């Protein structure tokens, strides 16, 4: 990823402050996130009323058998989109990894465990210095792998309960109720994770819209991705003015 | 019986008051015109015990008029002093008024109405039954009181209890035949078992409803649960009384619960008890001929899941709690998620909380002079 320098207008005369921004996500990655976000939301919204079918609020939504059918159809359509996105993502990543066009920084390594421990030490006021990260912070990598795990479970368990007769031709029958249980429980885990963990990190800690805009400002780069900033610019990423302790 | 008892004492008082009023007013009534002399039963039987006493109706049908006085003496009505004229009030002497009925069935359908004079509530209930509906649709063979209870030789309908089902079996012959061999029917007929259901336990007595409706179907698991969810009754036979509660959280059961709560009159396909176990021909699951025995279970599933293969039956968690022996996959999945979901919750909540605390402290520190 290269720093993208905006040419400074000749007549700016110091009144115009230019802010460098860094490309963080490609247009394809941004579309992938959009598709995932959309299908995830639709799946959650159409799945929860089915999970809690005996609850009053669910029966308010699923007020007729036809509505139940409609919501199941929507769920299945969204599932196809999610499946397509997951297949595209995994196959593209695999191919690019083997072509050495992907540096593999997203793969889990021992350093992540160390980063996690460091982060925890900082959070518990044991360490004074906030640990520095590369392009992806420990939390962002954790989010990524949590979704990889969750999506894998949801896709396999979802397909099993969508086509139970087909799969039990080869698989033991007991896998169907197990898949139903897993689909139901993993959905709750994912919902909790998105609502608490992910929305804290991208909305409350700071509004991070880089997955939509594709760019991250220099200020944010220096604050949150110190190692990446240094790698790209060769400059030390001492925190911006006024932010230092 | 408790609601009736509440009304008994005021009724008794009113009855006593009326009785005393009649006794006091008796001399005044005595003079009012010649009273109709009551026809004595012995007078009726004088003719009606003669063999071959009969009359030909307009249709050419022969109506036998001979009464078996011995059997009549044994009937419940006779034992409490109800005599001929109570049910045949139109007959006050001889010759009798002419019988204006074309067929014997016409006569039965007219004469049974006399039952309602005493058995009003049962009569009203019977008007609400499928039997009344099919009679209204023009099928005069639909049963009336006397078809089930008899006319002259009425006995208690449940002595012995097996008599109830036998009575229904007079018309419902095929169903009775399969019921007779079922776990319920055989226990009833062979052992006079007081716990197994007879026809009326599931179908009702006088207000019998059409069992082929969506409503009957959706409510039928509750009907089975009436006995099969009763821990005391089931313990007597060594059965598990959790079958219904476990069913109602199963795939099929949840569907049924939702339909029952919201759309009880809309037909639904999710399996109810009888779809798998049979209706009148229910056999114990341990019986190899049972529809849910290991030999027949797949075929039973295939009624609704036609392409299911042999592994399919393993998908049925049955009326059993999750256990390692029966359903290991579900067992381990359940263990994993019953700790994983709380773990994610604690992790996400705890981590975010720590971050908020840390961020707040940082901010306060920065703003300190």
Residue spans per domain, chain B: 43-147, 156-208, 324-352
Instruction: Tell me whether B364 touches chain A (CB under 8 Å).
Output: no
The length of chain A is 245
Contact residues, chain B, for A240 at CB < 8 Å:
none
Instruction: Tell me whether B314 touches chain A (CB under 8 Å).
Output: yes
- What pLDDT is stored for residue B2 in this prediction? 47
Q: What percent of chain B shows pLDDT beyond 70? A: 90
- What pLDDT is stored for residue B245 in this prediction? 92
- What is the H or E stretch that residue A23 is in? strand A21-23
Spatial distance between the Cα atoms of B128 and A41, rounded to a whole number of angstroms: 51
The chain-wide mean pLDDT, for chain B, equals 87
Query: What is the SS3 assignment for B359?
Result: helix
Q: Are A173 and B316 in contact (CB < 8 Å)?
A: yes
Q: How confident is the model at residue A129 (pLDDT cuts 50, 70, 90)?
A: confident
Spatial distance between the Cα atoms of B273 and B265, rounded to a whole number of angstroms: 18
A12: pLDDT strictly greater than 60:
no
Q: How confident is the model at residue B146 (pLDDT cuts 50, 70, 90)?
A: very high
Q: Are A189 and B307 in contact (CB < 8 Å)?
A: no
Q: Are B344 and A189 in contact (CB < 8 Å)?
A: yes
Q: Are B329 and A178 in contact (CB < 8 Å)?
A: yes
Spatial distance between the Cα atoms of A23 and B179, rounded to a whole number of angstroms: 78
User: Does residue A16 belong to any structural domain of this protein?
Assistant: no
B341: pLDDT strictly greater than 90:
yes
User: Does residue A44 belong to any structural domain of this protein?
Assistant: yes
The pLDDT tens digits of the residues spanning A159-190 come to 999 999 999 999 999 999 999 999 999 999 99
Query: What is the SS3 assignment for A34?
Result: helix
Q: Are A185 and B337 in contact (CB < 8 Å)?
A: yes
Does the pTM surpass 0.80? The reply is no
* Mean pLDDT computed over B66-91: 89
Query: What is the SS3 assignment for A7?
Result: coil
Backbone angles phi, psi at A4, to 5 degrees: -105, 105
Q: What percent of chain A shows pLDDT beyond 90? A: 55
More confident residue, B13 or A117: A117
Contact residues, chain B, for A147 at CB < 8 Å:
none
- What pLDDT is stored for residue B282 in this prediction? 94
B327: pLDDT strictly greater than 90:
no
Q: Are B313 and A173 in contact (CB < 8 Å)?
A: yes
Spatial distance between the Cα atoms of A187 and B208, rounded to a whole number of angstroms: 46
Most confident of A1-15, A167-181, A204-218: A167-181
In total, how many domains does chain A have? 1
Q: What percent of chain A shows pLDDT beyond 70? A: 91
- What pLDDT is stored for residue B30 in this prediction? 43
CA pseudo-torsion sign A75, A78, A84, A90: negative
Question: Which residue in B277, A72, A130, B183 sits closest to A62, CA to CA?
Answer: A72
Contact residues, chain B, for A174 at CB < 8 Å:
314-315, 327-330
* Mean pLDDT computed over B38-50: 84
Shortest Cα distance, chain B CAs vs residue A169, angstroms: 6
* Mean pLDDT computed over B84-111: 88
Domain residue limits at A97: 23-102
Shortest Cα distance, chain B CAs vs residue A80, angstroms: 23
Nearest CA in chain B to A189: B341
Q: Are B311 and A197 in contact (CB < 8 Å)?
A: no
Spatial distance between the Cα atoms of B349 and A200, rounded to a whole number of angstroms: 10
User: Does residue A171 belong to any structural domain of this protein?
Assistant: no
Shortest Cα distance, chain A CAs vs residue B282, angstroms: 25
- What pLDDT is stored for residue B83 in this prediction? 84
62-101 in chain A: CB under 8 A from chain B: 62-65
Q: How confident is the model at residue B183 (pLDDT cuts 50, 70, 90)?
A: very high
Strands B62-64 and A3-4 turn out to be unpaired
B11: pLDDT strictly greater than 60:
no
- What pLDDT is stored for residue A120 in this prediction? 92
The pLDDT tens digits of the residues spanning B266-299 come to 999 899 999 999 999 999 989 999 999 999 999 9
Instruction: Tell me whether A193 touches chain B (CB under 8 Å).
Output: yes
- What pLDDT is stored for residue B89 in this prediction? 86
Which residues on neighbouring strands pair with residue A3, listed in sequence order?
A: A22
Shortest Cα distance, chain A CAs vs residue B226, angstroms: 22
More confident residue, A235 or B279: B279
- What pLDDT is stored for residue B307 in this prediction? 92
- What pLDDT is stored for residue A1 in this prediction? 43
Q: For chain A, how far is it from start to end, CA to CA, in angstroms? A: 30
User: Does residue A33 belong to any structural domain of this protein?
Assistant: yes
Query: What is the SS3 assignment for B123?
Result: helix
User: Does residue A125 belong to any structural domain of this protein?
Assistant: no
Q: Are B348 and A192 in contact (CB < 8 Å)?
A: yes
* Mean pLDDT computed over B113-138: 93
Q: A141-145 long-range contacts, Cβ below 8 Å, gap at least 24?
A: A141/A106, A141/A108, A141/A112, A142/A112, A142/A116, A143/A193, A143/A197, A143/A198, A143/A201, A144/A106, A145/A108
Instruction: Tell me whether A188 touches chain B (CB under 8 Å).
Output: yes
* Mean pLDDT computed over A225-234: 86
Of B327, B347, B356, the CB nearest to A177: B327
Backbone angles phi, psi at A216, to 5 degrees: -130, 135
* Mean pLDDT computed over A50-59: 88
Q: Where are the alpha helices (DSSP H) in chain A?
A: 27-51, 56-61, 65-98, 110-123, 138-162, 164-167, 175-192, 199, 210-213, 218-224, 226-233
Spatial distance between the Cα atoms of B103 and B100, rounded to a whole number of angstroms: 9
Beta strands across the sheet bearing A3-4: A3-4, A21-23, A215-217
Nearest CA in chain A to B267: A65
Taking a C-beta distance cutoff of 8 angstroms, is the pair B72, B152 a contact? yes
B325: pLDDT strictly greater than 80:
yes
Question: Which residue in B143, B142, B146 sits closest to B155, CA to CA?
Answer: B146
- List of residues 6+ apart from B188 with CB closer than 8 A: B161, B162, B165, B196, B198
Spatial distance between the Cα atoms of A120 and B351, rounded to a whole number of angstroms: 9
Contact residues, chain B, for A170 at CB < 8 Å:
311
B314: pLDDT strictly greater than 70:
yes
Shortest Cα distance, chain A CAs vs residue B102, angstroms: 52
Contact residues, chain B, for A180 at CB < 8 Å:
251
- What pLDDT is stored for residue B16 in this prediction? 58
- What pLDDT is stored for residue B164 in this prediction? 93
- What pLDDT is stored for residue B9 in this prediction? 61
B4: pLDDT strictly greater than 60:
no
331-360 in chain B: CB under 8 A from chain A: 332-334, 337-338, 340-341, 344-345, 347-349, 351-352, 354-359
């Amino acid at each position: 990823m290269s720093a993208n320098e905006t040419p400074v207008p000749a007549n700016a005369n110091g009144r115009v402050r230019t802010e460098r921004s860094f490309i963080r996500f490609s247009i394809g990655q941004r579309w992938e996130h959009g598709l995932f976000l959309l299908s995830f939301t639709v799946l959650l919204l159409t799945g929860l009323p089915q999970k809690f079918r005996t609850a009053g609020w669910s029966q308010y939504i699923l007020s007729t058998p036809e509505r139940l059918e409609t919501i199941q159809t929507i769920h299945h359509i969204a599932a196809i989109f999610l499946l397509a996105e997951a297949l595209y993502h995994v196959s593209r990543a695999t191919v690019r990894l083997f072509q050495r066009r992907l540096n593999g920084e997203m793969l889990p390594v021992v350093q992540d465990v160390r980063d996690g421990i460091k982060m925890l030490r900082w959070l518990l006021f044991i360490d004074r210095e906030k640990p520095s990260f590369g392009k992806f912070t420990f939390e962002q990598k954790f989010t990524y792998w949590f979704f990889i795990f969750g999506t894998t479970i949801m896709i396999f368990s979802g397909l099993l309960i969508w086509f139970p007769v087909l799969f039990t031709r080869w698989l033991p029958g007991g896998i169907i109720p197990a898949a139903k249980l897993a689909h139901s429980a993993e959905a709750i885990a994912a919902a909790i994770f998105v609502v608490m963990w992910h929305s804290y990190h991208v909305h409350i800690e700071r509004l991070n819209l880089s997955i939509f805009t594709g760019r991250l400002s220099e200020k944010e780069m220096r604050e949150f991705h110190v190692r990446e900033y240094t790698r790209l610019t060769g400059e030390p990423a001492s925190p911006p003015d006024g932010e230092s302790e | 019986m408790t609601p009736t008892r509440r009304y008994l004492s005021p009724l008794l008082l009113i009855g006593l008051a009326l009785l005393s009023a009649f006794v006091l007013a008796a001399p005044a009534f005595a003079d009012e015109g010649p009273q109709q002399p009551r026809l004595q039963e012995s007078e009726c039987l004088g003719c009606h015990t003669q063999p071959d006493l009969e009359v030909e109706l307009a249709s050419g049908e022969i109506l036998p008029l001979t009464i078996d006085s011995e059997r009549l003496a044994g009937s419940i009505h006779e034992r409490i002093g109800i005599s001929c004229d109570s049910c045949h009030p139109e007959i006050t002497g001889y010759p009798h008024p002419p019988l204006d009925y074309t067929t014997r069935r016409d006569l039965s359908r007219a004469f049974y109405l006399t039952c309602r004079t005493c058995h009003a509530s049962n009569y009203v209930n019977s008007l609400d039954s499928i039997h009344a509906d099919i009679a209204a649709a023009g099928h005069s063979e639909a049963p009336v009181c006397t078809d089930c209870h008899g006319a002259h030789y009425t006995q208690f309908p449940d002595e012995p209890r097996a008599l109830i089902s036998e009575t229904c079996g007079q018309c419902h012959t095929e169903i009775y035949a399969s019921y007779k061999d079922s776990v319920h029917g055989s226990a009833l007929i062979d052992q006079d078992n007081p716990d197994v259901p007879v026809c009326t336990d599931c179908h009702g007595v006088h207000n019998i409803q059409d069992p082929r409706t969506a409503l009957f179907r959706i409510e039928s698991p509750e009907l089975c649960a009436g006995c099969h969810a009763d821990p005391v009754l089931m313990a007597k036979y060594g059965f598990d009384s959790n079958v219904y509660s476990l069913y109602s959280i199963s795939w099929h059961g949840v569907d049924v619960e939702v339909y029952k709560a919201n759309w009880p009159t809309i037909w639904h396909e999710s399996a109810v008890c009888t779809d798998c176990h049979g209706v009148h021909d229910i056999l114990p699951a341990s019986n190899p001929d049972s529809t849910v025995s290991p030999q027949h279970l797949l075929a039973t599933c295939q009624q609704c899941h036609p392409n299911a293969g042999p592994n399919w039956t393993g998908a049925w968690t049955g009326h059993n709690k999750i256990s390692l022996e029966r359903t290991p996959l579900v067992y381990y999945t359940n263990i994993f998620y019953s700790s994983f979901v709380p773990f994610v919750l604690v992790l996400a909540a705890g981590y975010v909380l720590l971050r908020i605390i840390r961020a707040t402290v940082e901010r306060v520190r920065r703003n300190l002079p």
